[in-house]
Amino acid sequence: MKCTLVGYEIEMREDGRGLVIEPVRAARLRWFDGYQAENEIDAWEEEMTLTPVESEDWKW
């Protein structure tokens, strides 16, 4: 049995004593296929330098 729920097509079937509901198409399929992590900038790699005004905000 297939039905549409808020724009997503799902499959519902009875499996033993339970009901299985799963997407017909995998969610986020192929989102990261072209992703290249080596091209990303690591924000934590370099130490941050704060301006005097910013450093005043961070006094504890």
- C-alpha distances (whole Å) from 37 to each of 29, 30, 33, 52, 56 are 18, 15, 11, 34, 35
Amino acid identity of residue 58, one-letter, is: W
Global model pTM greater than 0.85: no
Residue 20, pLDDT score: 92
Q: What's the pLDDT tens digit per position in 26-57?
A: 777 787 888 888 888 877 777 777 777 776 76
CA atoms within 13 A on the CB side of 32: 3
Q: Which band of pLDDT confidence, cut at 50, 70 and 90, is reported for residue 19?
A: very high
When pLDDT is cut at 50, 70 and 90, the band that residue 14 belongs to is very high
- pLDDT for the residue 18: 93
Q: Domain segments of the chain: what residues?
A: 1-26
Residues near 25 by Cβ (< 8 Å), separated by ≥ 6? Answer: 9
- β-bridge mates for residue 35, sequence order: none
